[in-house]
Chains A and B, each alone.
Chain A
């Protein structure tokens, strides 16, 4: 049977293995994203809105995070979580937690760097005007963030797109264990290796759809921003 047709059948019939792997991918990358947001957004916003000594080196470090090669992050997390490593006693290697950690390390600096850039570009007179009109410091910050909320969402969406399609780091720290740490990308590698092209294609199609979905969200947000810009 044609592998492509068989792949479509696997998706539409809700094949248990394919569905399980897809759900696990969304769970793991979803929680990694949550973690990365909780850490990345406040750091990006705080550094973007404030001015202090040694700020420039900090910005450089955050921006360097944009260029973390995933396999190197995977190797680092592997060595730290391995029994021989400093956190070996936690027994986290080959668990979803290890994958979530690695993906958060990849997405965190990404979200921080993009949100930092967005916040930095807010015209300073917005805050000044707000304060002049009697807004509290907190209200002024909220107002500034409202200005860039589309960019913040775009940062998060792009972070999600990057980690759900990543394979090197999750393979190393997750181990591709069936029913636990096997996600779409590692399953595609395995099933291609095994010659099960139908299963690999099915997961590939779903992964593509997710990537396209993320891109569509980004595109929609971009259009909104342009429209708002014209009105202002």
Chain B
């Protein structure tokens, strides 16, 4: 066969096999809109695998977006269930009538990380806002998500609490997910606010250390919301109910990042009367 004919044959062969695997999904599915922090750490894949052991017939299709974008996808009905962590934005979402309620389901912690040399000396700060004030006063490098994610919203809150203006050459916005933002901070030797799960996931590849953590104002609570515009609210409810069940709570607490020793996510609220 000459080259053009062979090439055409190859192209058709590639195109032909398509709908075999990619198109047909007869299984029941729904779309879950979740944040980069829950996905990049591997938590969601872990939870969905556990869920499918109990409910093999329902397939969860996960779309990853920052909390702000995820809520927007919920408003338009492009996702059936939201797992997000931006309490103020969630409250506004419910107030505007886009979802009947928000139900907290799991929590982890935020961490202020920075270069091991800690040029601003924030290690051991009494509070996160004090650490932020110190960073701003010394104009030490800080990398922000800048993407209306839940972490970005918390960062803005902390700057406000610190009474500091997050502006100037020392303050940059990556506009990307948590993991990319951590890499940027690591490369620039800058400070960064992150969730502890993504940080633990990437700590080996980062030149950053956790400097301030464990403070109540660094608590990070994830909530489930079923948008009113959802197309598959019943299927979404099956997954939401499972996450709140004993098995779901056990799966949340049992997740380990890279087989590490520490549980990084906890079921929330801690003392759910149902359990």
Contacts and interface: CB of A to CB of B under 8 A. Distances in A.
A44 B11 CA distance: 19
A217 B21 contact: no
Nearest to A23: B21
A194 B78 contact: no
A138 to B, nearest CB: 20
B193 to A, nearest CB: 17
Given A27-B18, A27-B22, A160-B11, A193 B62 contact: no
Contacts of A177: 61-63
B256 to A, nearest CB: 15
Contacts of A157: 7, 11
Interface in A89-114: 91, 93-97, 100
Contact of B78 (A82, A97, A156): A82
Given A31-B15, A33-B11, A94-B61, A193 B4 contact: no
A224 B201 CA distance: 52
Interface in A138-191: 149-150, 152-153, 156-157, 160, 175-178, 180, 190
Contact of A94 (B15, B18, B63): B63
Contact of A153 (B4, B61, B78): B4
A122 B36 CA distance: 53
B205 interface: yes
A7 interface: no
A28 interface: yes
B40 interface: yes
A96 B11 contact: no
Contact of B45 (A29, A160, A178): A178
Nearest to A177: B61
B14 A27 contact: yes
A131 interface: no
Contacts of B42: 194
Contact of B4 (A37, A82, A221): A221
Contacts of B180: 193
Contacts of B63: 94, 175-177
B64 interface: yes
B3 A221 contact: yes
A91 to B, nearest CB: 7
A27 B21 contact: yes
B11 A156 contact: yes
A84 B31 CA distance: 16
Q: Which of A95, A150, A190, A194 has the most CB of B within 10 A?
A: A194
Contact of A180 (B22, B36, B45): B22
Chain B interface size, as a band, is: 35 or more
Q: What is the predominant secondary structure among interface residues of chain B facing chain A?
A: helix
Contact of A194 (B8, B18, B40): B40
B76 interface: yes
Q: Which of B8, B229, B231 has the most C-beta atoms of chain A within 10 angstroms of its own C-beta? A: B8
B200 to A, nearest CB: 11
A30 interface: yes
A117 B42 CA distance: 49
B167 interface: no
Interface string B171-199: 00000010110000000000000000000
A134 B202 CA distance: 73
A160 B13 CA distance: 13
Nearest to A175: B63
Nearest to A150: B4
A219 to B, nearest CB: 11
Given A194-B40, A194-B201, A34 B3 contact: no
Contact of B7 (A88, A180, A217): A217
B204 interface: yes
B76 A82 contact: yes
Interface in B18-73: 18-23, 25, 31, 36, 40, 42, 45, 61-64
The interface centre, meaning the residue of A100, A157, A190, A195 with most chain B CB atoms within 10 A of its CB, is A195
Given A175-B64, A177-B62, A195-B205, 14 more contacts: A26-B17, A27-B22, A30-B11, A33-B14, A82-B78, A83-B77, A91-B231, A153-B3, A175-B61, A176-B64, A178-B45, A193-B180, A194-B201, A221-B7
Interface of B: 3-4, 7-8, 11-23, 25, 31, 36, 40, 42, 45, 61-64, 76-78, 177, 179-180, 201-202, 204-205, 229, 231
26 contacts: A26-B14, A27-B14, A27-B17, A28-B18, A30-B14, A30-B17, A31-B18, A34-B12, A34-B15, A37-B11, A83-B78, A150-B3, A153-B3, A153-B8, A156-B7, A156-B8, A157-B11, A160-B11, A175-B63, A177-B62, A180-B22, A180-B25, A193-B40, A194-B202, A195-B179, A195-B204
